[in-house]
Amino acid sequence: MPATQEPTSTPPAPPVSLAALLGRRDLGLRLLAGPEDASVHWVHTSEMADPYPYLLGGELLMTAGVQLTDPARYVERVVEAGAAALGFGVTPVYDTVPAALVEACERHGLPLLEVPPHTPFTAVARAVWRLMAEARHHELRRVTEAQQSLATAAARPAPVPAVLGALASRLGGRAALFTADGTEYAAAGRAVPPEASDALRDLVGVVGPRPGGPASASGDGGGLRLAAYALGGGEGLALGLAAERREAADHTIAGVAVVLLSLLTAPHRGADVSARDAALVRLLLGAAPAEAAPALGPGPWTVVHAHAHGDSHGGDGTPFAAATLASALGTPLVDAPAEGAVRLLLPAGREAEPQPDWILGASAPVEAGDLAAADAQAARALRRAEATRAALVRHRPAGFAGLMDQGEAATYARTLLAPLSEPLTETLRAWLSLHGNWDRTAVALDIHRNTVRQRIARCATLLDRDLDDADVRMELWFALR
């Protein structure tokens, strides 16, 4: 059973089931070919003879067949592009959906919808967006209710079994704690087949507190969806989950449980905790970092700044989200303000690793006396991560850019980029960071690649620069930074 790490990012909204769209009677859609269990991520309308170059995958492609000359080849290209389904509007070009198109879609397993004359394509697109909004609202409400349920369970007399029971109930499966040697420590929920149990034990062995090891992993076994999460606290415990299906919100719900279980199963180290709290008090009262650092733990230290990706955590500084991140990175030292970036201190032996739903910037490891400089490094690294849409950016030496006077450079950059509006600046930054790749830039900005081309051409005109010139690109990249 192959184990995979959780994805580092999630779509802006949950996909829409094709069956839910077919259930909208006001649209009058009819399934002519293919399955109805496909998932639609967005809607795209095209009357191109070959729409392949303009598709990103996961679309419900809408067409009236204006340039449909070879249905079999057309469907092949649509399937190659990864479209989720094809919607064909009857009239004004065709009175009925061509039989050859129906046959080709059936052969390739591509869902084909008949769109009646009274239903404009925009109505279908609007219905998809509304269904997405409803799904997102349901997902957020489900996470909130799960957080409340898990927090209530953690306050009961036997908190660990209670939290596992609440988690298993919320996910509709089984939740179990495993020790470092793979022994099941505690469990709740439905029993699973032996094959799934063995696969889950193998998956749990993938995660752990060892340096470089993933904090979470997922896979399949025994017909069930499996996931494993390492608990904080250094005891080698891991949480294993098995369920018939896995939804986008499940990872967030599991993260809340991981934080609670990490706290509930951590050994009581009263002296260590007191020493750490005393060190933090001394820092607050003005002691030098080097004086308090020995009580906090061994150096050198790495400073990490983090922003939640999108709104999957309900905001950057929510306690559950920040605590989940701190647990995954293996540190109790976290600052989660109501607004702004979450900041963490990682002790020696802990390295920042990409985390699902987070954008991270990490400093170079430093001794306690250089923590202020490391904090600035982490802030700059986070800004680079956000600009380049990277999950994690580590501080690196400034190179040639560090040799320039920052004030003069900033003044020149403002003058150079003054003709550009914010959308153009954002597009230019993304395009340069992706080495001029049109398709990757379109995906990163969630716009059509023709829009990218138009904006870059507009930038070249306003700046009066040749953007094919490597020197010009380098100068603009420095300016945008």
Between 397 and 349, the more confident residue is 349
The strand pairing partners of 114, in sequence order, are: 30, 88
| Block residue for tokens 């919607």 | 87
Residue 418 pLDDT > 60: yes
Residue 109 pLDDT > 90: yes
Rounded Cα distance, 275 and 271, in Å: 6
Among 175, 211, 227, 174, smallest CA distance to 356 is for 227
Q: Could you give the 3-state DSSP secondary structure of residue 308? A: strand
Task: Name the least confident of 99-103, 216-220, 225-229, 398-402.
Answer: 398-402
| Block residue for tokens 């580092």 | 8
User: Which secondary-structure segment (H or E) carries 195?
Assistant: helix 194-204
Rounded Cα distance, 395 and 382, in Å: 9
pLDDT, tens only, 164-208: 999 999 999 999 999 888 888 889 998 889 999 999 988 888 886
Rounded Cα distance, 150 and 168, in Å: 11
Q: Give pTM, 2 decimals.
A: 0.47
Between 330 and 289, the more confident residue is 330
* Region 434-458 average pLDDT: 88
Given the DSSP bridges, would you call strands 39-40 and 184-189 parallel, antiparallel or unpaired?
unpaired
Rounded Cα distance, 242 and 194, in Å: 12
* Region 366-379 average pLDDT: 84
Question: Are the C-beta atoms of residues 320 and 259 closer than 8 Å to each other?
Answer: yes
Residue 217 pLDDT > 50: yes
Q: What is the mean pLDDT of the chain?
A: 83
* Region 127-134 average pLDDT: 90
Angle at 150 between CA 148 and CA 154, to 5 degrees: 115
Rounded Cα distance, 409 and 415, in Å: 10
* Region 404-416 average pLDDT: 74
Local confidence band at 445 (pLDDT 50, 70, 90 cut-offs)? confident
Residue 380 pLDDT > 60: yes
Question: Are the C-beta atoms of residues 258 and 238 closer than 8 Å to each other?
Answer: no
Rounded Cα distance, 161 and 145, in Å: 19
Angle at 245 between CA 242 and CA 250, to 5 degrees: 75
Between 168 and 288, the more confident residue is 168
Rounded Cα distance, 219 and 226, in Å: 5
Q: In what order do the strands lie in the sheet with 184-189?
A: 184-189, 173-178, 238-243, 224-230, 216-221
User: Which secondary-structure segment (H or E) carries 224?
Assistant: strand 224-230
Rounded Cα distance, 236 and 104, in Å: 53
| Rounded percentage of the chain residues whose pLDDT exceeds 70 | 83
Contacts of 471 (CB under 8 A, 6+ apart): none
pLDDT, tens only, 22-80: 999 999 999 999 999 999 999 999 999 999 999 989 999 999 999 999 999 999 999 99
Rounded Cα distance, 227 and 240, in Å: 6
pLDDT at position 61 is 97
pLDDT, tens only, 331-340: 777 776 656 6
pLDDT at position 87 is 97
Task: Name the least confident of 109-118, 300-309, 401-410.
Answer: 401-410
Local confidence band at 155 (pLDDT 50, 70, 90 cut-offs)? confident
User: Which secondary-structure segment (H or E) carries 122?
Assistant: helix 121-154
Rounded Cα distance, 171 and 241, in Å: 9
Diameter of the chain measured on Cα atoms: 82
Rounded Cα distance, 241 and 6, in Å: 14
pLDDT, tens only, 230-285: 887 656 788 999 998 888 788 888 888 888 888 888 765 455 555 555 565 555 55
Query: 397: which 2 tokens?
Result: 């030496």
